[in-house]
Amino acid sequence: MQFSAEQIRIIKSKPNGHRLIKGAEGTGKTTVATNKIPGLLKHYCIDKTDRVLMVTYNEQALNYVSYIYDNIEQDKYIQSSFFDEDNSYKLEIKTIDSLIICYFNDYKKSHNLKLEIASNIECENILISAIKIVGKQYKKLKFLNNEYFNFIQEEINWIKSCNYTNCEEYQIARRSGKINNIENGKVIKLRRNSKQKEAIYEVFKEYNNRLRESNIVDSQDVILLALYEANKKNCKKYTHILVDDSQALTKIQLQFLKAIYNPKIYSSITFIIDTDANKYPKGYLTRKKAFMSLGFNMKGKSNSLKKIYNKCDLLNTNTCYTIKKENKINNYRKEQDDSKKSYMLDTTKYIDLKRNVSYEFIRDSSSNNEIYIEEDGEEKKIEDLSYIPVYNEIAAGNPILINDLLADNYLLPKSWIRGSSNIFMLKIKGDSMINKNINDGDYVLINKQNFASIGDIVAVDIEGEATLKTYKIKDNKISLMPENDKYEPIILDENEFDIIGIAVGLIKN
């Protein structure tokens, strides 16, 4: 694979604690992360106890990573010397499940236990008994019966995956989405601090007690016991951890990985995330503020990959030639098409959000540095122009990753942006601000500053992700308000976000 400049920067970057590599499927996230491994082994496994761990979500992904690693052109990006040690034995590539089983077995050995992992049928029978017993105590709750078995089982698995250790934690926990009973299509909404949640937690406790009596554990207990073992000081730790498909992991799986991470001056833990969160409804990192709750502040520690390759390209060293050849053909076709086009002028509207006025101007499509306005029925060329840097998209919807790579420059008359000293532009993605006439595909002008007044439209950084919302304060909390009823406000403390700047203008094509 021929890497882009951004990908090479990631591969060659020095390890510096926690980091996020994010992008859509096919952007080469896993390939780039795997290509970091040789550098970590050569230069950042200094101590004899240092180790590198690559974690995959399943066996298929493990085979893919192993194939990439076995075919890395190491000499291209890694400086070798005569004195370099062969540290390849310090590398482990494992699935998350196999890794957890290793620590679970260590737990059994250290506690001299003969625990067995329960079969699905054993778990189901024990849960049915637990529902029946608790149902007698909560006779008014109609869902405590086998008709709602799948719903109750899913909720108990969720309690364990979040590592809630008491009823109070579970009572105040918010679970996004609604929970459906698969058998009959009925919907149950569990309110916080409710009798329903209290009863569910009692079923959870009864279920756990019966498992212990039978000297067996379910799959979620295996992770909990592995986490307990991983938290020991003398357990096996890793100096560098790369976590593929992090978005699919539960909270407790992520806590487990953090527990086996050995932080040093030169250590690193890298999370590789697919941005299509809809494919992973149970993944913990699809939530807002998830990284912060795990103790990782991703502000300034994120990389976003945009270009999408097919899998053949990701594995093919001849990709560069193929891409260049296709680009030449496409450029030739474009030149042929352009030669057939007539001379065109594009009319664009600029809205000054500070002064609530708008202007229409004309851009010469054949010359990007020429702008005209109409005065007294005649077109007048504007001479005094400012170059505005254009960066990546900002979300008018759910936050998207910040990427500070310059995408383009845009010219505007200086008189339209007077009073704004440090301006840049971002492309809008999403529809959460449509009631303010800010639509998908528009460009918003941001005046860079770190403070705002109530009612300002602000661009904010939340854990390395950017979004555009209206700034409000409610109950001593910052409320980032969408301007579309289908979106919920984002409620934050002052230390949970940074203001990038204030929206001062809008360009609508």
- Distance of alpha carbon 157 from alpha carbon 313, whole angstroms: 39
Q: Any binding-site annotation on 407?
A: no
Nearest Cα to Cα of residue 431 among 380, 392, 467, 377: 467
354 among known catalytic residues: no
Enter the tokens of residue 81.
């010397």
**β-pair type (408-413, 17-23):** unpaired
Distant-in-sequence, close-in-space partners of 447: CB < 8 Å, separation ≥ 6: 420, 421, 422, 423, 501, 502, 504
Q: Which residue of the set 81, 420, 469, 508 is catalytic?
A: 469
| Beta carbons within 10 angstroms of residue 448's beta carbon | 14
301 among known catalytic residues: no
- Distance of alpha carbon 29 from alpha carbon 147, whole angstroms: 43
- Distance of alpha carbon 293 from alpha carbon 251, whole angstroms: 10
Q: Any binding-site annotation on 26?
A: yes
> Greatest CA separation found in the chain?
92
Q: Any binding-site annotation on 30?
A: yes
Q: Which residues pair with 5 in a beta bridge?
A: none
Helix (H, G, I), strand (E, B) or coil at 361: strand
Q: Any binding-site annotation on 322?
A: no
Element (H, E) at 104: helix 96-110
Torsion of the alpha carbons at 155, 156, 162 and 167, rounded to the nearest 10: 100
- Distance of alpha carbon 493 from alpha carbon 479, whole angstroms: 9
Q: Any binding-site annotation on 24?
A: yes
Q: Which residue of the set 142, 194, 432, 448 is catalytic?
A: 432
Give CA separation, 153 vs 138, 289, 379, in Å: 18, 27, 70
Q: Any binding-site annotation on 25?
A: yes
Q: Any binding-site annotation on 28?
A: yes
Strands (E), 103-159: 116-117
Enumerate the known binding-site residues for ATP. Answer: 23-30
Enumerate the known binding-site residues. Answer: 23-30
The residues annotated with a catalytic role in the active site are: 432, 469
